[in-house]
């Protein structure tokens, strides 16, 4: 065989990248107002590059009234003034590029803010603007009932009724999230045109790609039929007329053409909570999106059997459409995985990533959670495809479960009628240095405290403290990221190795990855330990809740 024939085709960056999620309002505050911003992020770009990641995904940075932490966008072509300016954003993109980091932004196409010029015009009776949203008359004798039975993702009905021009109760508008986030009508060509133009606006500024917010929500079933009464159906497991409709794919075929018209081509990653990996693969067909988060992996309990099933199912279905799998353990919407792994583990895939119901029922063993989190990142980074890290997981941060009610900011807290504490606990500003709040999140002399309170116990979890400890989780992340780039990149699926039931063991290339989710230690094969999650990995033993990467001696 000729040399060329044996050479692997070069992989595109997005097929193998490890992407770091920057939740900007909690990353670093440059100007001392207690809110993260672009100045703070720019100052920490060298730190991010030093981790060994390849790209950043930055949560929405657009002007927003912040009814849902920036996922209520008032203007898609600018930057929220409390974060910085458009010029600073452009600087940031070029500084990141100079450090070898790609930049992925977040686009929010399912809904705008109620403060967006379009919705404001719609409320003033502009019929063209109104047709860009989903207004409907109510049911009942006087239109007093919502047009259908859909519920908002944050709790309560997905419809809000407005007053008409005469000040009388008028039509209802749809919002699958907060009332301040009216859903757009994607059957309207003006909406399509506008978003393709927004993509170009940022691609022209050298943005490398977009994470698509609720990518499975844009198209709704014709006629907006009722879902039906299915009180305990787990989220998105049942076909629902608001989610994952086949028409949505046509939109992404259009977006792909826009992305492919650039040199180098730009990319997309979908946030799509769909029923199964077959449905997810539809978003990854060659003329649609490049990648989509693998949420089954995030929802998997710390159990080898379930994790293995998830890994096989995900890699098989992604391979069928030629796409890389995209692994993720945590993000700004779910309970941090240190805490998820710190309590008893459900038998199968679970909704406990959102349901914070266990909180008062079972204390969290955070030492155990951290041990498992160390092993989990070694599993994640040994898998084929791409991976996303959520800021602070490299510090081993746990969910902050004791934020006082009056300081909570997530609309989920009030829209759920104060039954779901919401997502603030995974959004607490990062601890960088020092031994008391704000732990270097804000500069010396800051005028305001961080927008959510940081636990005092974070003194041992700052970047500064962890940097100086060779065995810290931060240094484990660095080592694992470096070795991954050298030895584990690519799309070859795991070759499973016979192992005890509670153990995941597979080979990729020259490396074997062993992860013990069981209660008892096991004997490892006679090989050289390249990296271990725990200093108990000695004398050929892999203790419970630990991982090791092995190579031939």
Pairing of strands 169-174, 135-136: antiparallel
- Number of shown-chain residues binding ligand NOJ (CB under 6 A): 9
Smallest gap from residue 421 Cβ to ligand NOJ (A) = 15
Site for ligand NOJ contains 333 (CB under 6 A): yes
Smallest gap from residue 220 Cβ to ligand NOJ (A) = 16
Cα 145 to Cα 137, 172, 179, 215, 224: the distances in Å are 9, 9, 16, 28, 15
Among the listed residues 20, 27, 71, 202, the single contact to ligand NOJ using CB under 6 A: 71
Contacts 24+ apart (CB under 8 A), 138-141: 138/171, 138/172
Site for ligand NOJ contains 68 (CB under 6 A): yes
x-or-dash string of contact with ligand NOJ, 383-422, rule CB under 6 A: ----------------------------------------
Smallest gap from residue 418 Cβ to ligand NOJ (A) = 18
Q: What would you report as the CA-atom Rg of the chain, rounded to the nearest whole angstrom? A: 23
Residues found in the chain:
553
Among the listed residues 35, 92, 214, 314, the single contact to ligand NOJ using CB under 6 A: 214
Smallest gap from residue 72 Cβ to ligand NOJ (A) = 8
Among the listed residues 108, 284, 318, 335, the single contact to ligand NOJ using CB under 6 A: 108
Q: Which residue is nearest to ligand NOJ (CB)?
A: 71
Instruction: Beginning with the edge strand found earlier in the chain, give each strand of the sheet holding 159-163 in spatial order.
Output: 135-136, 169-174, 159-163
Site for ligand NOJ contains 218 (CB under 6 A): no
| CB distance 102 to 55 below 8 Å | yes
x-or-dash string of contact with ligand NOJ, 243-282, rule CB under 6 A: ----------------------------x-----------
Render 471-520 in DSSP notation, one character per residue: TSHHHHHHHHHHHIIIII-S-PPPEE----TTEEEEEETTEEEEEE-SSS
Nearer to ligand NOJ, 19 or 504 (CB): 19
Nearer to ligand NOJ, 88 or 213 (CB): 213
Nearer to ligand NOJ, 271 or 393 (CB): 271
Is cis: bond before 438, omega within 30 of 0?
yes
Smallest gap from residue 64 Cβ to ligand NOJ (A) = 11
Of 310, 100, 72, 249, the closest CA to residue 175 belongs to 72
The SS3 assignment for 211 reads: strand
Smallest gap from residue 177 Cβ to ligand NOJ (A) = 4
Phi, psi at 542, each rounded to 5°: -115, 105
The SS3 assignment for 386 reads: strand
Running DSSP on this structure, what letter comes out for residue 268?
E
**C-alpha count within 13 angstroms, C-beta hemisphere, residue 330:** 28
Smallest gap from residue 108 Cβ to ligand NOJ (A) = 6
User: What gap in Å lies between CA 418 and CA 235, rounded to an integer?
Assistant: 19
Smallest gap from residue 181 Cβ to ligand NOJ (A) = 6
Can you read off the two tokens belonging to residue 293? 């988060």
According to CB under 6 A, which residues from 512 to 551 bind ligand NOJ?
none
Nearer to ligand NOJ, 420 or 534 (CB): 420
Token pair 């509670």 is at which residue?
502
Smallest gap from residue 137 Cβ to ligand NOJ (A) = 26
Smallest gap from residue 182 Cβ to ligand NOJ (A) = 12
Nearer to ligand NOJ, 180 or 313 (CB): 180
Nearer to ligand NOJ, 60 or 440 (CB): 60
Among the listed residues 88, 213, 313, 512, the single contact to ligand NOJ using CB under 6 A: 213
Smallest gap from residue 223 Cβ to ligand NOJ (A) = 24
User: What gap in Å lies between CA 329 and CA 390, rounded to an integer?
Assistant: 8
User: What gap in Å lies between CA 541 and CA 293, rounded to an integer?
Assistant: 34
Of 400, 338, 347, the closest CA to residue 375 belongs to 338
Which are the contacts of 125, defined by CB distance < 8 A and separation ≥ 6? 165
Nearer to ligand NOJ, 41 or 69 (CB): 69
Nearer to ligand NOJ, 108 or 491 (CB): 108
Neighbours of 549 (CB within 10 A): 26
Can you read off the two tokens belonging to residue 510? 């020259």
Smallest gap from residue 118 Cβ to ligand NOJ (A) = 17
Site for ligand NOJ contains 451 (CB under 6 A): no
Nearer to ligand NOJ, 72 or 534 (CB): 72
Site for ligand NOJ contains 177 (CB under 6 A): yes
The binding site for ligand NOJ (CB under 6 A) comprises 68, 71, 108, 177, 213-214, 271, 332-333
């Amino acid at each position: 065989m000729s040399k060329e024939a044996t050479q692997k085709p070069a992989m595109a960056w997005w097929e193998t990248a490890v992407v770091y999620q920057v939740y900007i309002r909690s990353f670093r505050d440059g100007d001392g107002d207690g809110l993260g911003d672009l100045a703070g992020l720019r100052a920490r770009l060298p730190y991010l590059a030093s981790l060994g990641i390849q790209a950043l995904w930055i949560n929405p940075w657009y002007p927003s009234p912040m009814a849902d932490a920036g996922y209520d966008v008032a203007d898609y072509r600018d930057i929220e003034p409390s974060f910085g300016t458009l010029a600073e954003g452009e600087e940031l993109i070029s500084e990141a590029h100079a450090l070898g980091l790609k930049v992925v932004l977040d686009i929010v196409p399912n809904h705008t803010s109620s403060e967006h010029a379009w919705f404001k015009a719609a409320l003033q009776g502009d019929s063209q603007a109104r047709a860009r949203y989903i207004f409907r008359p109510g049911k009942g004798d006087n239109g007093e009932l919502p047009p259908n039975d859909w519920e908002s993702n944050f709790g309560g009905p997905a419809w809000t009724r407005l007053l008409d021009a005469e000040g009388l109760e008028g039509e209802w508008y749809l919002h699958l999230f907060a009332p301040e986030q009216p859903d757009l009508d994607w059957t309207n060509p003006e909406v399509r045109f506008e978003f393709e133009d927004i993509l170009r606006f940022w691609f022209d500024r050298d943005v490398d790609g977009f994470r698509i917010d609720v990518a499975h929500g844009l198209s709704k079933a014709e006629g907006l039929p009722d879902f039906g009464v299915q009180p305990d159906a787990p989220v998105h497991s049942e076909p629902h007329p608001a989610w994952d409709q086949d028409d949505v794919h046509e939109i992404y075929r259009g977006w792909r053409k826009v992305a492919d018209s650039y040199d180098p081509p730009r990319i997309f990653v979908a946030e799509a909570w769909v029923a199964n990996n077959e449905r997810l693969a539809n978003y990854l067909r060659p003329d649609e999106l490049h990648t989509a988060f693998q949420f089954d992996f995030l929802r998997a309990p710390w159990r080898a059997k379930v994790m293995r099933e998830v890994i096989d199912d995900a890699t098989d279905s992604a391979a069928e459409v030629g796409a890389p799998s995209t692994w993720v353990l945590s993000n700004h919407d779910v309970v941090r995985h240190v805490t998820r792994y710190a309590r008893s583990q459900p038998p199968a895939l679970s909704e406990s990533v959102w349901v914070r119901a266990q909180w008062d029922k079972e204390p969290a063993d955070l030492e155990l959670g951290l041990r498992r989190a160390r092993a989990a990142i070694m599993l994640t980074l040994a898998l084929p495809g791409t991976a996303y890290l959520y800021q602070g997981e490299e510090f081993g941060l746990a969910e902050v479960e004791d934020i006082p009610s009056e300081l909570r900011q997530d609309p989920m807290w009030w829209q759920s009628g104060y039954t779901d504490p919401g997502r603030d606990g995974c959004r607490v500003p990062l601890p960088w240095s020092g031994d008391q709040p704000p732990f270097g999140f804000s500069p010396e002399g800051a005028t305001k405290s961080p927008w959510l309170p940081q636990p005092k116990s974070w003194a041992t979890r700052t970047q500064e403290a962890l940097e100086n400890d060779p065995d810290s989780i931060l240094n484990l992340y660095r080592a694992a990221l470096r070795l991954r780039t050298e030895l584990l990149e690519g799309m070859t699926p795991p070759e499973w190795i016979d192992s005890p039931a509670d153990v995941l063991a597979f080979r990729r290339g020259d490396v074997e990855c062993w992860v013990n989710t069981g209660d008892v230690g096991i004997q490892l094969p006679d090989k050289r330990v390249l990296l271990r999650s725990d200093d108990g990995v000695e004398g050929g033993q892999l203790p419970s809740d630990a991982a090791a990467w092995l190579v031939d001696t």
